[in-house]
Chains A and B, each alone.
Chain A
Amino acid sequence: MAKQDSKIPEGPVADKWNNHKGKINLVSPANKRLIDVIVVGTGLAGASASATLAELGYNVKTFCFQDSPRRAHSIAAQGGINAAKNYQGDGDSTYRLFYDTIKGGDYRSREANVHRLAEVSTNIIDQCVAQGVPFARDYGGLLDNRSFGGVLVSRTFYAKGQTGQQLLLGAYSAMNRQIGRGKIKMYNRHEMMDVVVVDGKARGIITRNLVNGKIERHGAHAVVIASGGYGNVFFLSTNAMGSNVSASWKIHKKGAHFANPCFTQIHPTCIPVSGDHQSKLTLMSESLRNDGRIWVPKKLEDVKAIREGKLKPTELAEEDRDYYLERRYPAFGNLVPRDVASRAAKERCDAGFGVNKTGEAVYLDFAAAIMRYGKEQAHVKGLDENDAVLVKKLGQTVVRSKYGNLFQMYEKIVDQDPYETPMMIYPAVHYTMGGVWVDYNLMTTIQGCYAIGEANFSDHGANRLGASALMQGLADGYFVLPYTIGDYLADDIRTGPIDTQLPEFEKAEAAVKAQIEGFISNKGKNSVDYYHRKLGKIMWNKCGMSRNAKELKEAIKEIQELREDFYKNVNVPGKADEFNEQLAKAGRVADFLELGELFAKDALERTESCGGHFREESQTPEGEALRDDENFTFVSAWEYKGVPAKAKLHKEELNYEEIEVKTRSYK
């Protein structure tokens, strides 16, 4: 049914956005009052979009499953947000941010979207400062920057290790202002159960009130999905417990194409798994790699001694350590992009050099940085630079001021003091570059249905650079969608309120109720988490950091079987019309069980290695990822055809007009 047209404006890439804005249809202020927009999700993208749409004059209804919009998982982003401000005068520019993002994405993102992102990046910083977001500042009172993995300039703005929190609270405050004015109607503890499509247009959603289980219909002239990524398909990820794919998946099943599902980012610096009880993984900001050096022992006998507790890592001599990132990538060293760092850690651990009991951890060592900073401080203060105890103390103070909260967090979880002994880290699923396919206006293949932030696919290609997720979420929400949505809504000013008594609403609601009834009356023997954990294991083992055709085929089959078993044997206690966490979880896991299969199918189809997607069949003799530009310079957009196995592939060819496609090298 749906046509896939990326609608990239004509002209040179640098002028596309301006030209497009100039030509776009507008809705007059008087008419905006007649138009309702639904926003699902209140992370950076959803909150900022809700605020701006309301400010422009639309009637906005915003939904989140948490108890408050402020809980959305954007809040957990630590490191920072990129913007091409060039405040540091180190040669940054819109073009360079654009270039770095395309290159970082391994040439699998859409040029026009990425350039627009780089263009509006500077507005984000201006906007946030005006809102009272307390970014870090230097002693002159101006904004401070730091550099982040995979780039050569300092363009990352930050607020200690809580940048996501500060930006989200900024967007939340902008939203609160509009809620106070009555322009946004906020629905907390509501889950979107389905989208309602009338005559090919998204006209509303069905929700479940999580407090009392009531199924509700909400009509609107457009529906915006800002519900984040689907990393939780792996069960263990750095996502929040409630993060889910359901909103994206429901629109996919109603006609929105799902793009590049296999592009997942595995973040290199997470706290390793401690046991079977583990419910989620904790990320530590990648900024740690600015000062920490990553290593494993050179000799297997040392690894053994460390695992048995006979040898402490601090006792190992320099020459017995393998700083493998510095060894393999001398130019970028510990600052290589996330996918490269993650795979290198896996490679060492697979070779038997993992340093914890499970053999899945490498060291991140601050000893050298502590001494370096300590010496610097001693010099500045005119103290004895050769007094090791003093230097260490001074250095620890510097490190504490930079990473104090992260070190504290690590100590709380692992019960080891990272000032004294190296941290242990291991990669974990963190972000999904893939998502709902959108055109240049951020509209999906359902008319009037939009996807923004992590929920869409467009800007990060096959791998996202650090500090770019916050940038994209806010860019989409504050500065892109509110304009582009007008182009569509301009035709809707005479439509009037959407009638939620239409048969389409009736049908969608009935289907939702039937699914819930099915879960409640199933009375199986296994809990929802039992299936979620199993799915996670399949995904991590067979669709994780490196993939091959054989295992992907196995994964597809296993997921299909697991899904079948799920519907037969899942146990959902309690009732439908009450606060029922297990029921909510069951719906989400049901969608993960379908997405997981499409994920594996997509990974199987893409026989090249690119970005976060590493196919063992496609690598250089040195074991580096090998892209296949001739056959795979396209976006895989999947159309739903009843079951994931039958999904139909639509290719969006990627044309690089501005940037020459090169092999990504960080050597």
Chain B
Amino acid sequence: MNLTLKVWRQANSQAKGKMETYKMEEVSPDMSFLEMMDVLNEQLMTQGIEPVAFDHDCREGICGMCSMFINGEAHGPDRLVTTCQLHMRKFKDGDTITIEPFRAEAFPVIKDLTVDRSAFDRVQQAGGFVSVNTSGNTQDANAIPIDKHDADKAFDAATCIGCGACVATCKNASAMLFVSAKVSQYALLPQGKVEATDRVLSMVKQMDEEGFGNCTNTGACEVECPKGISLENIARMNREYLSASLKG
């Protein structure tokens, strides 16, 4: 396949960026998108152009590090995949592909397609945990039976990989899907219920301070989420937050 790439280039967080156009030839449809980017970088280096910086690590869709906004969609046109799992067979010969970083005020660009998502870490640090010491002297793991349905729902929420596609996709750059996934995971488990009130209040507070937008229930996040995290989690967090606020 022959492709035209329009890629966002920005030297560092202070610099002004712009889109650059690169031509690619003989791209194999079996390549993953990031492998195509590797080839692009090899090509750029032989031309004496600095390679495009982009985040990536596991390349199997679980670490959540890759983060491109491809042809107007987070992680590109395919569903339930991250950029590293997107394959070139999803594109056609002669296509023009625009590649931009995940954009949000809370995700400042570091270089080219690399952004800083540490806002997510800070939201987790505000309360995304169960306050149990790691001494190993807790009760036996089977001491509290947990309804399988609740356990399964908690698991589904917990599969969030923290990639930020929800924020990147949302027209408001809202982080509600991400935050609600963590709040839900713990709200559904007896171990997490103990400090549910404080958790939801402080995580939402931190989320707001980071400068994410408001949720307007467009549902775009759920569609673009590579792990298919459900909007139900946002509703659950709204519920948790309301009851926590009323409790004081």
**Chain B interfacial residues counted at CB < 8 A:** 78
Q: CB distance A73 to B58 under 8 Å? A: yes
Residues in chain A near residue B145, CB distance under 8 A: 137, 140-142
Q: CB distance B159 to A162 under 8 Å? A: yes
Q: Which of B31, B114, B116, B148 contacts A138, CB < 8 Å?
A: B148
Q: Which of B120, B142, B155 contacts A68, CB < 8 Å?
A: B120
The proximity string for A residues 142-173 relative to B, scoring 1 for CB distances below 8 Å and 0 otherwise, is 11000000000000000110100110010011
In the complex, whether A397 has a CB less than 8 A from a CB of chain B is: no
A135 to B148, CA, bound (A): 10
Contact A165-B161, Cβ < 8 Å, known A87-B142, A279-B34: yes
Q: CB distance B35 to A279 under 8 Å? A: yes
Q: Which of B65, B124, B128, B147 contacts A141, CB < 8 Å?
A: B147
Residues in chain B near residue A125, CB distance under 8 A: 141
Q: CB distance A579 to B191 under 8 Å? A: no
Q: Which residue in chain B gives the minimum CB-CB distance to A188?
A: B118
CB distance from A47 to the nearest CB of B (A): 10
A259 to B39, CA, bound (A): 36
In the complex, whether B117 has a CB less than 8 A from a CB of chain A is: yes
Contact A134-B155, Cβ < 8 Å, known A48-B134, A142-B142, A277-B38: yes
Residues in chain B near residue A51, CB distance under 8 A: 134
In the complex, whether B192 has a CB less than 8 A from a CB of chain A is: yes
Residues in chain B near residue A129, CB distance under 8 A: 138, 141, 191
Q: Which of B51, B61, B114 contacts A582, CB < 8 Å?
A: B51
By size class, the interface of chain A is: 35 or more
CB distance from B175 to the nearest CB of A (A): 14
Q: CB distance B51 to A66 under 8 Å? A: no
CB distance from A537 to the nearest CB of B (A): 17
In the complex, whether A429 has a CB less than 8 A from a CB of chain B is: no
Q: CB distance B50 to A173 under 8 Å? A: no
Contact A136-B136, Cβ < 8 Å, known A130-B130, A143-B141, A413-B85: no
Q: CB distance B191 to A71 under 8 Å? A: no
Q: CB distance A75 to B136 under 8 Å? A: no
Contact A137-B45, Cβ < 8 Å, known A130-B191, A173-B128, A582-B51: no
Residues in chain B near residue A280, CB distance under 8 A: 59-60
Q: CB distance B110 to A579 under 8 Å? A: yes
A133 to B134, CA, bound (A): 13
Residues in chain B near residue A132, CB distance under 8 A: 129-130, 154, 185-186, 189, 191-192
In the complex, whether B210 has a CB less than 8 A from a CB of chain A is: no
Q: CB distance A68 to B87 under 8 Å? A: no
Q: Which of B40-95 contact A (CB under 8 A)?
A: 42, 45, 48, 50-51, 53, 55-65, 78, 80-81, 85, 87, 89
Residues in chain B near residue A587, CB distance under 8 A: none
In the complex, whether A9 has a CB less than 8 A from a CB of chain B is: no
Contact A130-B139, Cβ < 8 Å, known A73-B63, A241-B56: yes
CB distance from A412 to the nearest CB of B (A): 5
Q: CB distance B31 to A277 under 8 Å? A: yes
Residues in chain B near residue A138, CB distance under 8 A: 148
CB distance from B201 to the nearest CB of A (A): 14
Q: CB distance B30 to A274 under 8 Å? A: yes
Residues in chain B near residue A278, CB distance under 8 A: 35
Residues in chain A near residue B139, CB distance under 8 A: 126, 130
The proximity string for A residues 396-433 relative to B, scoring 1 for CB distances below 8 Å and 0 otherwise, is 00000000000011001101000000000000000000
Q: CB distance A409 to B85 under 8 Å? A: yes
- Selected interface stretch from A174-182, A326-334, A504-512: A174-182
Q: Which residue in chain B gives the minimum CB-CB distance to A177?
A: B129
A173 to B192, CA, bound (A): 12
Residues in chain A near residue B56, CB distance under 8 A: 241
Which residues of chain B have a CB within 8 Å of any CB of chain A? 11-12, 28, 30-32, 34-36, 38-39, 42, 45, 48, 50-51, 53, 55-65, 78, 80-81, 85, 87, 89, 110-111, 114, 116-118, 120-121, 124-142, 145-148, 151-152, 154-155, 158-159, 161-162, 185-186, 189, 191-192
Q: Can you report 29 residue pairs joining A to B where beta carbons are below 8 Å apart?
A: A68-B120, A69-B121, A70-B64, A71-B58, A71-B64, A73-B58, A123-B137, A126-B140, A130-B130, A132-B154, A134-B152, A138-B148, A141-B151, A142-B142, A143-B141, A159-B158, A165-B159, A169-B158, A173-B124, A180-B125, A188-B118, A188-B121, A240-B59, A277-B38, A279-B35, A408-B80, A415-B87, A479-B136, A573-B50
The 3 tightest CB contacts between A and B, nearest first, are A141-B145, A123-B136, A173-B129
Q: Given A55-B135, A67-B55, A277-B28, 10 other A-B contacts at CB below 8 A?
A: A71-B63, A76-B63, A127-B134, A134-B152, A135-B151, A241-B59, A242-B57, A412-B78, A413-B85, A573-B45
